[in-house]
């Protein structure tokens, strides 16, 4: 059985027919039809056995194409879509003449198509007012208020080869030495030329011994020598803070999605509450979807 092409399938066929269409659009001006200067959605672009096809039908079928096909030049896409609609109408009429509208599979697919189109209209109406700047801001405050924030540390260190070297540095600091200067002069670590600064980090980002020492220090207090696999450290914590909250721009898509979902679910819940929905006590097995065949009367 030959199936009616979907808009997507037609668009793919357009790609193969592009050369022929391009030749048509390049026809001499005297052979080309006159271009309408006034038109609207009700303007008829073709009549097939008395059935009118309008600009609105072309717009609707174009809107269902994948983006890469919608971006094709209008002078290529428009006549192709008109031809597609003409072919569909011819095939649809032939199917109706052969009694296809009496087939169960056709009836239920038309029912589902109508139901889907109409439900999408309600969804669009609900979502139109679901998201505002005020709702986004309120949702952001609520979401971030529940986030767990950890302590973060801004620290500097001087890395040395021996404990004796570390004690010597601590003595120099106690005598008024400048931490950054001593780090630049004596640290064997890569941060030495930068005054020993390590920047901001959170719990677990450093080796365990270093991590424990930092968390135990008060801001501005110099540590005792701390041994790690890299050597001996003299550490000072410059600042502490709570981990920053994610910026609104980062989580706004998540917020917008949740607002839309909540608005739609709330509307559906209200519709269900007001509706009379009856479901028989007999439970139809889920496998009925695959064991029953729509082909038939």
When pLDDT is averaged across residues 221-245 and rounded to a whole number, the result is 96
First to last CA, the chain: 17
pLDDT digits (tens, 9 = 90+) for 240-278: 999 999 999 999 999 999 999 999 999 999 999 999 999
> Does pLDDT of 11 surpass 70?
no
pLDDT digits (tens, 9 = 90+) for 107-164: 999 999 999 999 999 999 999 989 999 999 999 999 999 899 999 999 999 999 999 9
pLDDT greater at residue 15 or residue 211: 211
* b/e code 193-224 from CB counts within 10 Å (16+ = b): eebbebeeeeeeebeeebbebbeebeeeebbe
> Does pLDDT of 27 surpass 70?
no
Please state, rounded to an integer, the average pLDDT across all residues of the chain. Answer: 89
Which band of pLDDT confidence, cut at 50, 70 and 90, is reported for residue 289? confident
Distant-in-sequence, close-in-space partners of 37: CB < 8 Å, separation ≥ 6:
none
Please, how many CA atoms are within 13 Å of residue 189, restricted to the half-sphere of its CB? 23
Position 251 scores a pLDDT of 95
Position 294 scores a pLDDT of 87
Name the nearest CA neighbour of 153 among 207, 219, 224.
219
pLDDT digits (tens, 9 = 90+) for 46-90: 999 999 999 999 999 999 999 999 999 999 999 999 999 999 999
Position 2 scores a pLDDT of 36
> Does pLDDT of 19 surpass 50?
no
When pLDDT is averaged across residues 225-236 and rounded to a whole number, the result is 97
Name the nearest CA neighbour of 159 among 121, 116, 188.
188
Q: Is the dihedral of CA 282, 285, 286, 290 positive or negative?
A: negative
Position 9 scores a pLDDT of 53
Which band of pLDDT confidence, cut at 50, 70 and 90, is reported for residue 1? very low
Give the domains, in start order, of the chain with CATH numbers: 7-98 (no CATH), 151-242 (3.10.50.40)
Which band of pLDDT confidence, cut at 50, 70 and 90, is reported for residue 35? confident
Question: CA–CA separation, 265 vs 267, rounded Å?
Answer: 5
Position 291 scores a pLDDT of 86
Position 17 scores a pLDDT of 47
What pairs with residue 153 in β-bridges?
A: 201, 240
Position 293 scores a pLDDT of 86
Question: CA–CA separation, 138 vs 132, rounded Å?
Answer: 10
When pLDDT is averaged across residues 177-193 and rounded to a whole number, the result is 96
Which segment of 11-15, 92-96, 102-106 scores lowest on mean pLDDT?
A: 11-15
């Amino acid at each position: 059985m030959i199936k009616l092409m979907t808009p997507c399938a037609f668009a793919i066929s357009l790609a193969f027919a592009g050369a022929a269409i391009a030749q048509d659009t390049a026809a001499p001006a005297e052979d080309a039809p006159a271009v309408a200067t006034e038109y609207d959605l009700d303007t008829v672009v073709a009549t097939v056995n008395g059935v009118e096809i309008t600009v609105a039908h072309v717009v609707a079928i174009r809107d269902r194409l994948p983006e890469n096909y919608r971006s094709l030049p209008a002078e290529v896409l428009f006549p192709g879509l008109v031809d597609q609609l003409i072919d569909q109408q011819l095939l649809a009429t032939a199917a109706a003449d052969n009694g296809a509208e009496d087939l169960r599979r056709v009836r239920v697919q038309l029912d589902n198509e109508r139901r889907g189109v109409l439900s999408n209209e309600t969804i669009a109406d609900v979502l139109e007012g679901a998201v505002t700047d005020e709702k986004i801001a309120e949702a952001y405050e609520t979401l971030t208020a529940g986030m767990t924030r950890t302590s973060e540390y801004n620290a500097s260190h001087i890395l040395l080869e021996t404990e004796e070297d570390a004690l010597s540095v601590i003595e120099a600091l106690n005598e008024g030495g400048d931490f950054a200067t001593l780090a630049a002069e004596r640290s064997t670590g890569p941060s030495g030329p930068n005054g020993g600064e390590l920047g901001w980090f959170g719990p677990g980002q450093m080796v365990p011994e270093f991590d424990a020492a930092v968390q135990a220090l008060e801001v501005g207090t110099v540590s005792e020598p701390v041994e790690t696999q890299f050597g001996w450290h003299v550490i000072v914590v410059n600042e502490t803070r709570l981990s920053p909250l994610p910026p609104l721009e980062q989580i706004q898509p998540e917020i917008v999605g949740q607002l839309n979902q909540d608005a739609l679910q709330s509307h559906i819940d209200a519709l269900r509450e007001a509706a009379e929905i009856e479901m028989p006590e007999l439970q139809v097995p889920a496998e009925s979807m695959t064991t029953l065949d729509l082909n038939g009367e």
